[in-house]
């Protein structure tokens, strides 16, 4: 993860009053992301559904549609930040 990109994610999450849980270790869903991060400055973030929700690749996983609004909120905020700078 690029430090500038991580700072952008954190800044927008704080502005949107979203909880930040920064992982020190790699996340299982991040392996595909590795290639992109070698080509471009980037950072990955996830939209957590909560501890009681089945994990992303679990057979019982069902994407909680209410997370779509949070994703839009984050990307809208990051785009606004980049365009303002």
Note the pLDDT tens digit of each residue in 7-65.
Answer: 999 999 999 999 998 876 766 666 678 788 889 999 989 888 888 899 878 899 999 99
pLDDT of residue 67: 95
Burial (Cβ within 10 Å: 0-12, 13-18, ≥19) of residue 45: buried
* CA 17, chain centre distance (Å): 14
Decide which of 70 and 32 is more confident.
Answer: 70
Domains in the chain, please, with CATH? 3-84 (1.10.150.900)
pTM equals 0.82
Length of the chain: 85
């Amino acid at each position: 993860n690029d430090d500038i990109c991580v700072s952008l994610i954190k800044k927008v999450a704080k502005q949107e009053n979203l909880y930040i849980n920064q992982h020190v270790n790699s996340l299982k869903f991040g392996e595909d992301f590795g290639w992109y991060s070698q080509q471009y400055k980037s950072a990955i973030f996830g939209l957590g559904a909560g501890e009681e929700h089945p994990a992303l690749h679990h057979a019982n996983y069902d994407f909680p549609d209410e997370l779509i609004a949070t994703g839009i909120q984050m990307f809208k905020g990051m785009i606004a930040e980049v365009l303002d700078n």
